[in-house]
Amino acid sequence: MTGSNSDCMDYAPIVLNVPVGAIDADSPNSPITEPYQLIFPPVMTVSSEQEIKSTTPLTTVLWNEIQADLYKGGLNSCSALKQAVNTQNSIIQNVKEHDFRIANRYNIAVEDLYGDFVKDQNTELYDLAQKMMPAIKKSYQETKEIQKENPTAQQAYVDYYWEHWDYTKKNEINKWYKVKTVMTADKLIVIEHEVSADLQTELALNKHIERNSQKKNGLEYDKEAWFSLDSDGTEYSCSVKETIKQQVLPNSLTTFGVLNRGWSKQPDWDSCSRQNVGAGFMQTLSADLVGDYKDQFTQVQAKFNFENNAPHPEWVNLGDSLDSVSRSDFDALNYLSVDFNDNSSYGSDSWSRHKYAYIENTPFDYTQTITSRDSHGSWTKGYHYQNGTSLFECSDDGVNWSKETCK
């Protein structure tokens, strides 16, 4: 592509017509007998820094859908697409977020999703791509609809995904799931169903989560109901979690709070959503330190769990009475240390401490590390890469680390 349209590849999917007689790397001894199309993703949507102009089954399915939408919207020329800034930004955001969720779920680098995994002989990624093609297409279609239904949402999307292994039961399951997520400034809703293999029928509710948030009197308050199917698949459990913590202030980068959590068996989501924390709840006292007021990245977090005897029963079920407490009330917890190396338990049944850091690989590429230790002597370290993948290591002493140490 040359001349005035040479930069169109940055904005539009590129369609390649594969003729009869062409050779497919999958089957080099069997020339193509029926013509078909391959679609390359626009450079502007690729999540890596390189201009990757290769195609895979994943990109062909997804960008075939997007190309059809662009034509429906009248964006059928290079100049029209380049001028449609809002459309470009919407496409960029949706595709990059979807890329990241796939990479995060399957721990596959985003650039590998757009790479030539046939050429690289990556059979594992090839097999996943074959399975995911219908799911990616349906995810894209239904994400468009849920975004139309929730035009003011900060995030709204539908993902279909395949689960090969049940890590709780440690056996193969080979199941498909549909996750619908809508997030606004003060509410998060996540609904997950198991679906049929053809993705057309919802079989069973797997979980329903709803979190409501408010800010008042210098406090942040969240109440979350989590209704989920037990591992045996016969009953549902209802977890209600309430978090109350101080807002960060310019002159107060260390904040304190409580987390209250209760459990019960409930027959349906409506019953679960009406529950409060309830009797016999667990209370966790927390202390957080952020680096500075502007970015508010957490540096250190300490949590102290009290299984039965809550030290502050007056700070429970405050959703309807947040006016009765203020930020200064939680200064009563300022004895909690945010020193990662401190071993104080403050009378708790168990504790955990977490240290967060960002490693700059390049000016635009960071790796987040989260190092955790607990009262049982366990150490874990997670590396969370910008391409959506992660790596976890464990240690018995915080000095010698390996993946093999993780149980």
What are the DSSP calls for 294-346, one per residue? TT--EEEEEEEEESSS-S-TTSSS-TT-GGG--GGGGGGGTTS---TT----T
Q: Which residues contact 111 (CB under 8 A, 6 or more apart)?
A: 46, 47, 48, 50, 52, 387
> Tokens 């989501």 belong to which residue?
269
Record the tokens describing residue 381, joined without a space.
């370290």
Q: What is the Cα–Cα distance from 112 to 48, expressed in whole angstroms?
A: 10
Cβ–Cβ under 8 Å, residues 132 and 58: yes
For the chain, give the percent of residues with pLDDT over 90: 57
Is residue 45 a part of any domain in this protein?
Answer: yes
Is the pLDDT score of 403 beyond 70?
yes
Is residue 351 a part of any domain in this protein?
Answer: no
Is the pLDDT score of 102 beyond 50?
yes
Range of the structural domain that residue 31 is part of: 1-163
Q: Which residues are registered as beta bridge partners of 263?
A: 239
Pinpoint the alpha helices (H) of 2-109. Answer: 57-72, 78-83, 85-106
Q: What is the Cα–Cα distance from 388 to 110, expressed in whole angstroms?
A: 7
186: left (phi over 0), alpha (psi -120 to 50) or beta: alpha
Q: Which residue has the higher pLDDT, 180 or 407?
A: 180
Among 11-20, 82-91, 151-160, the minimum mean pLDDT is found in: 82-91
Quickly state the pLDDT bin for 276 (edges 50, 70, 90). Answer: very high
Span 337-356, mean pLDDT? 98
pLDDT tens column, 252-266: 999 999 999 999 999
Cβ–Cβ under 8 Å, residues 401 and 371: no
Q: What is the Cα–Cα distance from 325 to 256, expressed in whole angstroms?
A: 14
Q: Which residue has the higher pLDDT, 101 or 41?
A: 101
Q: What is the Cα–Cα distance from 84 to 89, expressed in whole angstroms?
A: 9
pLDDT computed for residue 361 by the predictor = 87
Amino acid at 236: Y
Cβ–Cβ under 8 Å, residues 238 and 226: yes
Record the tokens describing residue 133, joined without a space.
């093609």
Nearest to 233 by CA among 203, 253, 255: 203
pLDDT computed for residue 79 by the predictor = 73
Q: What is the Cα–Cα distance from 275 to 208, expressed in whole angstroms?
A: 14
Is residue 1 a part of any domain in this protein?
Answer: yes
DSSP state of 13: P
Span 299-328, mean pLDDT? 95
pLDDT tens column, 191-247: 999 999 999 999 999 999 999 999 999 999 999 999 999 988 889 999 999 999 999
End-to-end Cα separation, the chain, in angstroms: 53
pLDDT computed for residue 166 by the predictor = 76
Is residue 357 a part of any domain in this protein?
Answer: no
DSSP state of 249: B
Is residue 363 a part of any domain in this protein?
Answer: no
Is residue 93 a part of any domain in this protein?
Answer: yes
Mutual orientation of helices 85-106 and 57-72 as an angle, nearest 10°? Answer: 160
Among 21-25, 268-272, 361-365, 377-381, the minimum mean pLDDT is found in: 21-25
pLDDT tens column, 49-97: 444 455 666 667 777 777 777 777 776 677 776 666 677 677 778 878 8
Tally the domains of the chain. Answer: 1
Is residue 55 a part of any domain in this protein?
Answer: yes
Helices and strands, counts by H and E, the chain: 6, 15
> Tokens 């700070």 belong to which residue?
315
Q: What is the Cα–Cα distance from 127 to 388, expressed in whole angstroms?
A: 20
Is residue 17 a part of any domain in this protein?
Answer: yes
Span 38-54, mean pLDDT? 57
Q: How far is CA 145 from the centre of its chain?
A: 20
Nearest to 349 by CA among 304, 310, 406, 313: 304
